[in-house]
């Protein structure tokens, strides 16, 4: 979503959400906190190392 306008980015993230609801697992890699905030689970890495993982309450 990095090079998309905000409207197209939102549409794409909505599509990801719809796909996830059907049981599809998606892995999204991002530096955008707004994108990661929509995730059910977040895994953070710093300098190539896993620093923490969290399941986000919905």
Q: What is the pLDDT of residues 12-42, one digit of tens each?
A: 999 999 999 999 999 999 988 888 888 888 8
Which H or E element spans position 8?
A: helix 6-21
Q: How far is the C-alpha of 7 from the C-alpha of 4, rounded, in Å?
A: 8
Q: Decide if pLDDT at 57 tops 60.
A: no
Q: Decide if pLDDT at 1 tops 60.
A: yes
Give residue 16's pLDDT.
95
The residue-averaged pLDDT of 30-58 equals 82
Q: How far is the C-alpha of 43 from the C-alpha of 8, rounded, in Å?
A: 25
pTM (predicted TM-score)? 0.72
Q: Decide if pLDDT at 52 tops 80.
A: no
């Amino acid at each position: 979503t990095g090079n998309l306008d905000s409207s197209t980015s939102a549409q794409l993230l909505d599509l990801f959400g719809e796909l996830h609801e059907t049981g599809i697992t998606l892995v999204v890699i991002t530096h955008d906190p707004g994108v990661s905030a929509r995730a059910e689970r977040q895994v953070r890495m710093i300098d190539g190392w896993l620093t923490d993982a969290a399941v986000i309450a919905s």
